[in-house]
Amino acid sequence: MYPSIMIKYNISPETIVKSSEGNVVYFDEIGYGVRSDIRGLIPTILEELIRRRDEIRSRLKSLDPSSREYKLLDARQRVLKILANTMYGYMGWIGARWYSYEGASIVTYLGRRTISLSIDKAKELGLNIIYGDTDSIFVDYNIDLINELIKWVSDTLGLEAKIDKVFKKILFTEAKKRYAGLTEDGSIEIVGLEYVRRDWCDYAREAQYVIVKNLLEGASKDKLLNLFRDFVRRLRRKEVDIRKLIIWEQITRPLSEYKVNAPHIEVAKSLSQEGWRIKKGMFIGYIINKGSGPLYKRAVHYTKADPNYIDWDYYIYNQLLPAIVRILSPVGISEKTLESIARGGGVGLDMFV
């Protein structure tokens, strides 16, 4: 939604003014306005990014989703979407060369207003609102009413709205923009959860995907708990490939500029002392070993990991358990129940509940 707002209102650092005089669209609520007599650079770039993405998405409709060409083009359109969405974030980042607090403020103000007005209209039309965040709303599926809402957004707000996904089932967690859904075609869509984040090991991510997939497909509580129990059991028995235990984090600045000790930073410093060339942008993979003290003192580069020294409990309680609690607590399976299974090495009284 933010890219559409920036295009419609011509929001760019060089178009923002504090005066309401002249060719200006002024917003009294926040005390800033946008010039309309010049075209902003950011809206111009966004228009091109969106045009290219729309072309690719149009081509995707005629391709087999399992084909190599589809996957390549789908990756490209995702990149274009990310680039478009980063325009707002870059403009609002204080370290940006083209930083504009005022511009970012206008975008978020208009975003809040757009969502609020859209929710009010959806309710007026009789749509049941399930969930809403900064740029989208989820409603019960009624195609006629949804199309009426889309037309209202276009005609009244001057913005483009469309159906992004239709879910047969969806799981919302305790945090915004963290959910998983089963789409009409049977695929699993995951947003914001550990499964799609790099700073969790593959084993925890895999477990979360398997369990949330089964949950959305209608698995019973017993089956979900048994799946979790099996993931715990494999860790207890050290049957997991250590490559699935690697945690990856990125070096975002020169090592000398880091003031806080963190596992990947300490590992990177150790590698640097051994002759490795550590550069900004590199990803450092590490594994947590047994021992006392903070994690950064127990982290080792994955090439030096030995199963006999790995802290398997860390992976049970700090990687696997939190990832599964997040997706099972919303459906009534408590953290206490899952902790019981984790402590019991895969066997717990909960199996009789």
pLDDT of 108-153, one tens digit each? 999 999 999 999 999 999 999 998 887 889 999 999 999 999 999 9
Burial-class residue 189 by CB neighbours within 10 Å (0-12, 13-18, 19+).
middle
What mean pLDDT is predicted for residues 271-287?
95
Same domain, 120 and 254: no
Residues 229 and 272 in one domain: no
Dist. CA 87–CA 104, nearest whole Å:
10
The interaxial angle of helices 221-236 and 321-328, nearest 10 deg, is 180
Same structural domain, 119 and 52: yes
19 lies in the same domain as 60: yes
Residue 139 has phi, psi (to 5 degrees) of -135, 160
Indicate if 20 and 92 belong to the same structural domain.
yes
The separation between the first and the last C-alpha atoms of the chain, rounded to the nearest angstrom, is 45
Q: How would residue 44 be classed by pLDDT, with cut points 50, 70 and 90?
A: very high
Q: What is the pTM of this model?
A: 0.82
Q: What is the pLDDT of residue 332?
A: 94
Does residue 49 share a domain with residue 187? no
CB under 8 Å to 38, separation ≥6 — which residues? 14, 15
**From residue 1, how far is each of 27, 136, 161, 187, 305 by CA, in Å?**
19, 8, 8, 24, 45
**Is 166 a domain residue?**
no
Range of the domain at 333: 179-238+313-352
The confidence score (pLDDT) of residue 174 equals 86
Q: Tell me, what CATH number does 118's domain have?
A: 3.90.1600.10
Q: Each residue of 48-85: pLDDT tens digit?
A: 999 999 999 999 999 998 999 999 999 999 999 999 99
CA–CA separation, 210 and 324 (whole Å): 10
| pLDDT at residue 350 is higher than 70 | no
C-alpha distances in angstroms, 217 versus 3, 36, 49?
A: 34, 51, 36
Q: What would the pLDDT profile of 154-174 be if each residue is shown by its tens digit? A: 999 998 888 988 999 999 998
318 lies in a domain?
Answer: yes
The CA distance from 264 to 259, in Å, is 13
Q: Do 34 and 16 belong to one domain?
A: yes
